[in-house]
Each structure stands twice: as C-alpha cells, then as structure tokens.
Structure 1
Amino acid sequence: ALIALFLRWRSRMHTMNEPVMAELKLICSSFLLLFLFSWLGASIASGDAGLSKVVLRLSVFLTAGAAAYLVTTLGSDAIVEACAQNPTFSLLMSFLTGEWVKGAFTLVCLPLVPICIAVEMLHNVFRALARRCLLTDREPGQWITEEALQIVGWVSTWHVSSVLSKSIWVGIIYFVLQVGCGRGVVVLLAWICEVSLGLSWFAVVCILYGLGSFLFLLPPIPGYPIYMVSSILITKRMEAEGGHFLLAALFALVLSLLIKLSAVAMQQKMIGEPFCESVRVKKIVSIHTPEMKAIRHILSQQGMHWDKVVVLVCGPDWPTSVLTGILRLPLCEMLMGTLPMVLLILPFSLAGSFMVHASTLPDNTIAKRRYEGVASTLLFVSMLLQMAGMMLIFQCTQTMIEKYKDEIAGGEWMKDPQEEEVMREIQEEQMQKEERQEATRWSILPCWIKLVLVFGTMLMSLMMHIIILPFVKPFKDFSLQDKFSDIGEVSFLINQAGWVAIASLCASVACLIVFDVWSSQSASALEQKPLCAADKGRARYNADAP
C-alpha cells in the first residue's frame, strides 16, 4: 500500500518540464510525512506501544530509503542546482547541510563506519587485482576506492567538534521525546489513574484538570496522553458505577476540550505575552523568516478563516499557543479557532473507552477482539488526522509565501517592530559562534578532548540503536490501561539493555559537559588575547609619549 501511494503521488507531481523539481517536491513531502510519523509515534505510545514502535522503525527505514532514492535518481549536482533556483528548497538545503543534520547522520550511521571501511578496502583490493589481470593502468596507491575517498573528503570539511557535540544533543532530545515523554509520562499517568479510582468524582475531575493543565505547560509533552488518561479514568469510574462507556467517552471529550482551551489561554497569557518584547525569544522563534511571517499573517486575519483554524487546531500544542501570545493576538479568537480541536480529541476519547470496556470482557472472545481492534483503528485514524492537518499547515504557509513573495522581498510585509534588533542579535550570535568554532577546531584540540568527544558520540549512538533496533527490547511494554501496582516500581519496566542505554546516555552527557566546559574556557582565553595585546600596545605608547 505504501509503495502504491508513493507511485501515485509521484505520477501526480511529476511534470515533463521540471522533472528534478518534481522529484525534490515528492521526496521533501515524503520526508515531512516521515518526520511527522516519528513525532506522532510518541503520542500514540500512550495507547498502543506496539503501534508506536512500528511507526518509529518504519519512519527510520523509509527515511533512509527516500534519501537513497533521491541521490541515486537525480544525483547530488542536479539536486544542488535545482535547490539554488527555488527559495524554499534553498532554505531547506541550508538546513539539511547544517551541523544538526550532520550530527543526526553521524549518530545513526556511526556503527556502519567500520563495516563500510572494510567493504571499501576489500572492494579496492578486488579492483586492483582486476586491473592487474587485465594489464590496465593501476590507480595511485590508496587503501580505499576513489568513491569512498570523495566521501572522506566531504566529511573532512566538517567542523568535526561541533558536529559531534550536536550529535550528542540529538541523542539527548531523542531520549527525552521517545523515552521520557513517550514512556515516562505514560507510567506517571497510569499511576495517577490508578490512585484516583477511589476518590470522589469532584476530586477526579480536579486532578485530571490540574494535571492536564500542568503537562500542557511543558513544551515537549503532547496533549494526546492527557486525553487518553481522562478517557480511561472516567470510563473505569463510570463502568464501576453501572454507567455506559460511550457516555464516559462523551464526558471525557468535554473535559479534555476544557483542559485544552484552558491550556491555550495559559500558554498565551502566562508564557507568550510576557516575552512579547524579548528580542532573544523572537530570535529563537525566527520571527524574521518568511515562514513565520506567513504564519503571522494567517493567525492575524480577522474572523475564522479555514487556514487560521487549521494552524490553531493542528499545530503543535505549546509552540502554537505561545506564538499567539508573542504576537499579541486576541485570546477570544484563538479560543474560538481552537474549538474544532474536538474532532482530534474524539478518537482518543473513544479509543480509551473502548480499551477499558474491552478489558472487562472475557479473554479470547470475539467481542473483546472487536473492541480492541476498534480502539487501535481509532488511534491510527487520529494519527492520520494530525498528519493531514500538519500537511495543510505546510501547504497554507507555502501558499502565503508564494502569494506575497514580492512584499516579503521588500522587507516590510508583516515586519515585527523589533525585527532589526533581532537581526543584530543574530549577527552577534554568528560572530560568537565563529569565535567558538575557531577555538574548537579539530586540528587544535588536545588529544584527550578529542577522545572524550568521540567516546561520548559512540556511547550516544549505542544508546539510540539499543532503543530503536527491533531485536533489542530495552523496556517492557506498558500502556495507560495497565496497572502500576502490578509492576511495583518503575525499575521493573527497564530490562538489562535499557540500563545499558541509560548508562550510555549518562556517560555521554558527562563527556559533553567536559567538552563544553573546556571549549568555553578556550573561547574566553581566545577573546582575551587580542585585548591583552591591545593593552600592551597602549601601555607602550603611553610610556614613549612625552
């Protein structure tokens, strides 16, 4: 089905006059979909850990396949030339060739480096034997093939220390999202769900509302586990008192929507608006980029336009609401535009109720399997709805950029009052970055710092592969409908491979701290050298003066 969808998509996007651009649009759209698959894998882990793992692993393999297809079909030169002619792809290429992507590439491909070197050495030996047998001219003496040397030359142009440090940061972010948010939050919510069963209805509603509002204020945590735990807890309480599980789903839907609207108001008023005059925050948000100006235009429209509603409903919870506060947009319109969120909450509420109801039925019965199947289907449908919404956001943003490209080029369209200050801040940060990179060039690093950085990257790569490989099981499966009392303590959920992954993570973070401390001291020393020289010259001038 995926292959058929890919071919259908390719046939619709391809044009005879722009085949390279059509292929780029196709693959970049595929990359976006796969990235969304990975992000949503953490969300659906609350309901179905097996589905989450399948989604994450499928995303990794399909991303590698799409990248290989792009390079082998078009070639690197054609890709670079086509991207230079398109502003959007030019911006995308600057990201794909940046150090964060190189760090992620290093983290994933590091275990393959020894294998690739051995294969290339063997390949070079066979090629030399073939040339000798055919009495052809030999290549200059080298230990790997010419193609491999080109890759080595490309890697040698990297700022190695910066790439390796960012690869460790990528691993930290991956662990926080997939283990901390995808599993840790699920265990916490399951424990709260179990201890709340004996409380009154008023206490249960207050706990769910307070907990949900608090978790919404944390940037990396998606809202969907909150919707699931509300549905599961309310359904358990209502069925225990003789109520119907569909009525519980409706109650959970209303409560979840109330939590979401309250979170939107708090994120906008308590986080976004207090920082609306902060140049540093606006620089982090990239308020000066065409994409953010397009989103600002969409959100600033008067009334309930469909693209405005799509951004408010389908955008990531925390960033979207905080951005509306930074832009000082009216709260009432933001709340009204968020109301269609009920369509995305509904599948999660129904899925949680179906799961709880299925757990009350006898094992190996048709009814139990039917309800479990419906719950899994609802989770998958909810994921598809989110992906479709994010694709619509991407389309709306690009449409606005294309529509107002002349105004954007003029620089005055949707210009922030502090945009010039933001640009100066970016220039200063770039200068500081260049100074830091000069102080941490790989050629001048001490050997022990090089070893620390390489060792930390290897440990982080080990951690990542332990978690993502299908034949390694670092953690036991646990979902919101499971009982925390059955496991006794959180450590029971961690297998031996999981402890190895956690130890590797901690050791890698320690290596990163050592490198950061050393690089900060080196950068400070480098900044003081010119000042010291200037002071000496000034003192010499004063001494010679009459």
Structure 2
Amino acid sequence: LGASISAASMSLTGTLMAFCGAAMMALMIWCYLEIGKRALTQSIRESKMMRMLVMLATSNWVRAGLVIAFSPVILPMLVISILNQRVRRMRGKTTSDSLLPEGAQRVVRSLAFWNWGTIFIKINYLVMVYWTLFIGVAKATVVFLSWLNEQLLLWDLGAVIAGLFAIGLFMFLLPPVPGVPVYMTAGVVLAARCGALPMGFWGGVSLAVALSFALKLVACCGQYMIGFCLGKSIKIQQLVGVDKLFMRGVERVLSTRGLRFSKVSVLVGGPDWPTSVMCGILKLNLFQIILGTTPVVLVSSPCVFAGAFLAGGPALEQTGEAATDTSIYDTIASSMLMLSVAVQGGSLLLAGYFIQDTIAQHQEELEKHRPEHDAVVALTNREAEETRAYMEVLEWQAMSLSDRGIILTAVILNLLSMGIFQFMDEATFKNFQVYSSIEESSGKGGLDGNAWSVVLWLGWVANAMFFTGCCLHCVFLCIIRKKAAAQLQRRQSVRSSGTSVQVMAAQI
C-alpha cells in the first residue's frame, strides 16, 4: 500500500509510513492496557484464531520486522538501561553487579533463544523488499511516468489512449510496479489532452476512469495466466505453500462465487501482481476472479481524479493550461489519493480478518489430505535433510567470528540505509511528482533536464550503503550454503559407512 503511494508522490509516502507505524504502536499499547494481560492470555488459550496469530507473531519473519521497527531505539534503550542500573546501585536500590536491571536481563535472556542467523538474513531480505518497492521501482516509476506524460500530450487522442493502455498493461505485468501511479498518469494525460477538446475536462476524466478500470481487469487476466504457467512447477507450488493451512484458507475465500465481501476484500485490498498471480497458481475460476475484482473501481477512480486535478483541474477547459492558483486542486488531489488509500487499506485489513476467520472455522477441513498436493509434500520431505543442515550452520553459536562479522555488517549497513531513506526522505530525493516536468528547473519542481538529479548526494550515500550490505549478504549466503553442503555430505558419508559396517557384520 505504501509502495503504491510512494510511486505516486515522493513526499507523501514518508508521512503515511510514519503515521501507520505510530498508529499500530498506539493500538497495541491500548489493547494491552485496556484488555489486560490476564484477559489476553485467556483469549489466546480459548480462541483458535488468537493462537494462530500468536504463532504468526512469534515467527522469524515477524521477529525480523520487529528488529527493523525498533532498530532506531535499541541503542538508546540499552544506554538508558545501563545508566538506570548504575543509578540504582549508587542509591542502594540494588546490590547486583549486573550491567543491566532485572527487567532488561529477562529481555536479553529471551532474545538469546532466537535464531539470530536466520533473523539477520530475513532482515536483509525485508530491507531489499523495502528498497525495491519504495525506492528503486517507486522513484523510477515517477520519473518515467513524468516523461511519458510529456510525450503522450503530443499525440492524437486515439494514439494516447492506445499508448496508455499498452504501457500501463506492460507495467502491470511487472511484479514490483503498483497500480496507483498508472491510474494517476491516465488522469493527468487524458484530462490535459481532452481539456481543449469538445469533450472537455470531465469527459477526459470519465475516459480515464473507464480506461483505468478496463486496464486493471485485462492486467488481472495477464497476471492470472502468468500464475497459471508458473503453477505447473512443483517448486513454485512449494515456495508459495499451496499445501499450507494459510494458503488453503486463501483459496477457500477466493473460491466463493459472486461478490462475497470476503472475496472482494482480498482481491481489492491485496497487492496487484501477487494477488492475481496467486489466483493463477491456485487455478481458480478466472471469470469469478475478474467479477470479484470489479469493485477495484473504488480504488482506481480516486487516483484518476487525483491525477486530473494535479494536471490543472477544470481550468484546462477554458485555457488548455493549468490554473495559476492550484492550491484548491492540490488539496482535492491529496484528498482523492488518501480516499483511495483508505479503501485499499481497509480492504487489506478486512482480507486478513476474513482469511484468519475462515481458517479458524474450517481448520479440520483445510488440514485434510489432498492428493493434488502429494508431489509438493514429497519434494518438501526430500529437501528436509538439506534444510536441517542449513539451519544448523545458521545457529549463532556455530558460526565463526568472521561469518558473524559479515552478516552483522550487512545488517547494520542495510538498516542504516533504510533509516536514511525513511526519516531523511527530503534530503535523499527531490520532491518530484508524476505531473512534474523533467525539463523544468529545480526551482519549479523539475530536474533541470537530468533524470538522475532526482537523487541527492545523501541518497547516493544511502544507496551505496544498501548495495554494499547486499553484496555482503550474498557473500554470507554463499559461505553458509557451502558449509551446509559439506555438513550434509559428511552426514551422508557417516550414514553410508554405518550401512556398510552393518552389511559386513551380517555377512560374517
């Protein structure tokens, strides 16, 4: 969701991410204080859904996310805890020689049981996903669509529509590209192009709404076919977990016919490419999937309106150019964009609820054996020994000092780069929008004719830190995989030797 906004506005995404993070933190604190520890513990014991949520919350992926979220305050909290213990010792409140107070010691002891090798790898993967969606693809998409706007305005209306459809479809078929900037571009281009024509500004907006809606449905068909072809691979089925409880719950929700609210929530709230591709991998009914996707017009239309008002609003009908005072149009555009965010974000939250509710209500049925998944289960069983050897060499105590240094350096560099991108956005990238012009001067919101100038000097530093961390991460993975293969080979050699001894003993 944040990636969609990031690809539409370079200035709004930081505010949105900060707001969502603060809201989630406040919600968790409020739930704990309002409900209480005892009531939460009892509900976890009695509710299947709560137990599943707790299992999810204790996974290494969630732990990696928590480390990323709290990374800015880990060092200050550690320093404060040490100072607190020293002050308590000076005041005679404790006689312990420990560096940390008892509460902090309990936290450290619980953290010692975490598999930090695996968690550090997942931290790097999450930062890579963040960079791909919010930095790499998002910033490049904004610059490309800005250039595209200028080019399409020179074409005839029919060619503009065909060009927008073709380029939009191509972008939809790329995994990291969200739909919001494509919808906004349609609004910007068609509103500006039709403003001086008889159909006028509102005719252009209506045309952009229809084009965006049709483009989304056609793109869903293309994404579905990508998933359908990928789903023929047993390895792909294993990677997405078609035999797992959660994915079977998703399949049950999406298998319903018509416009069921739960089904629509998943199809509209889920990310564009993964959702439709997953439907293809699961080989669901394509017509029913397209039917369930039709309410996406509630997400695409506000984005089209946002782009149209950013292009200059109804003033385009009289002058063919944007109004001099665009403050009211900018406000309307921001409101429309946030409305789209609210619809998609609310749908995503409801999708999570409906999936977990379906799993809780039909868990026994979903856990039943399904013959079509036998090949996936067999592949998982064959790879179990390799996975076990891999996890063993990832244990923190089993790693050499050099291996620990490599992965720690990679994590620190990636977290530092992510912090710079997240909290110093205005110092890393220029505030460039899809309706801006690359050829304009920087004082007017342009890039002085150089697309690369969108990256400021601090942005180059942060990118260098990120790519260095990624290289170290790859080096670490190569080392670990070689060690895991060697350990697996030793284990198989010992097993073969034991079998040979048993055969010889039997012959004697």
TM-score tier, shorter chain, comes to 0.7 to 0.9
Summarize deviations over 1:392-414 as a string: whole Å, max 9, x none: 33344345445435544xx44xx
Name the CA shift for 1:131/1:212 in 2 (closer, same or farther; >3 Å): same
Identity of aligned residues (%): 25
Deviation at 1:473, TM superposition (A): 2.2
Distance in 2 between residues matched to 1:103 and 1:94, nearest whole Å: 15
Deviation at 1:303, TM superposition (A): 4.2
- Map of 1:409-420 to 2, 5 A cutoff? 411-412=367-368, 416-420=370-374
C-alpha contact 1:287 1:416 (8 A) present in aligned 2 = no
Q: Which one is further off, 42-51 or 513-522?
A: 42-51
CA deviation string 1:6-63 (max 9, x = no partner):
xxxxxxxxxxxxxxxxxxxxxxxxxxxxxxxxxx232223444333221111122233
| Aligned residue in 2 for 1:93 | 54
Q: Report the AA paired with residue 199 of structure 1.
A: W
Preserved CA contact (<8 Å) 1:466 1:472: no
- Secondary structure in structure 2 of the residue aligned to 1:220: coil
Any residues of structure 2 matched to 1:222-237 within 5 Å, and which?
222-237=178-193
Query: What CA distance in whole angstroms lies between the structure 2 residues aligned with 1:380 and 1:51?
Result: 10
Which letter maps to 2:13?
S
What is aligned with 2:346? 388
Partner of 1:281: 236
The one-letter amino acid of 2:407's match is: L
User: Would the alpha carbon gap of residues 74 and 425 (structure 1) be closer, same or farther in structure 2, given more than 3 Å must change?
Assistant: farther
Instruction: Report whether the alignment pairs 1:123 with 2:81.
Output: no
Write the deviation string for residues 69-98 of structure 1: whole angstroms up to 9, x where unpaired: 455666778655643432222222222212
The aligned runs of 1:507-546 (5 Å cut-off) are 507-536=468-497
Helix, strand or coil for the counterpart of 1:480?
coil
Asked if the contact 1:108–1:461 (Cα under 8 Å) also holds between the matched residues in 2, the reply is no
Q: Does 1:494 align with 2:458?
A: no
Listed as ranges, the matches of 1:27-66 within 5 Å are 40-66=1-27
- What SS class does the counterpart of residue 49 from structure 1 fall into? coil
Measure how far apart 1:280 and its partner are. Answer: 2.8
Residue 375 of structure 1 pairs with residue 329 of structure 2: no
Contact 1:466 1:501 in 2 (8 A): yes
Q: Quick one: structure 1 residues 501 and 534, their matched pair in 2 at CA, closer, same or farther if it must change by over 3 Å?
A: same
Matched residues in 2 for 1:310 and 1:160: separation?
A: 35
- Hey, what's the Cα distance between the residues in 2 that align with 1:74 and 1:428? 46
Structure 2 distance, partners of 1:96, 1:355, is: 41
Where does residue 343 of structure 1 map in the other structure?
298
* Kept after mapping to 2: 8 A contact 1:476/1:493: yes
Q: Is the 8 A contact 1:45 1:479 kept in 2?
A: no
Matches within 5 A, 1:225-374: 225-241=181-197, 243-269=199-225, 271-358=226-313, 360-363=321-324, 365=325, 368-374=326-332
Distance 2:471 2:406 in 1: 9
* Equivalenced residues, count: 494
Task: Decide which of 418, 423, 430 is 1:476's aligned counterpart.
Answer: 430
1:103 maps onto 2:64 in alignment: yes
More deviation, 53-62/201-210: 201-210
C-alpha displacement of 1:543: 8.4
Q: What residue in structure 1 maps to residue 44 of structure 2?
A: 83
- Structure 1 residue 141 displacement after superposition: 1.7
Partner of 1:32: none
**Shift of residue 224, structure 1, vs aligned partner:** 1.4
Question: What amino acid sits opposite 2:293 in the alignment?
Answer: T
8 Å contact from structure 2 (residues 49, 360) kept in 1: no
What's 2:75 paired with? 114
Cα 1:471–1:348 change in 2 (3 A) is closer
The match for 1:198 is: 154
Query: 2: distance between equivalents of 1:96 and 1:362?
Result: 51
Q: Is the 8 A contact 1:186 1:225 kept in 2?
A: yes
RMSD between aligned residues = 2.8
Please tell me whether residue 188 in structure 1 is matched to residue 144 in structure 2: yes
From 103, 111, 114, give the equivalent of 1:147: 103
Q: TM-score, normalised by structure 2?
A: 0.88
Alignment partner for residue 440 of structure 1, among 375, 383, 394? 394
Secondary structure class of the residue paired with 2:195: helix
| Conserved? CA contact 2:124–2:473, under 8 Å | yes
The answer on whether the counterparts of 1:246 and 1:350 sit within 8 Å (CA) in structure 2 is: no
The correspondence of residues 210-221 of structure 1 with structure 2, limited to 5 A, is 210-221=166-177
Aligned partners of 2:257, 2:36: CA distance in 1, in Å? 46
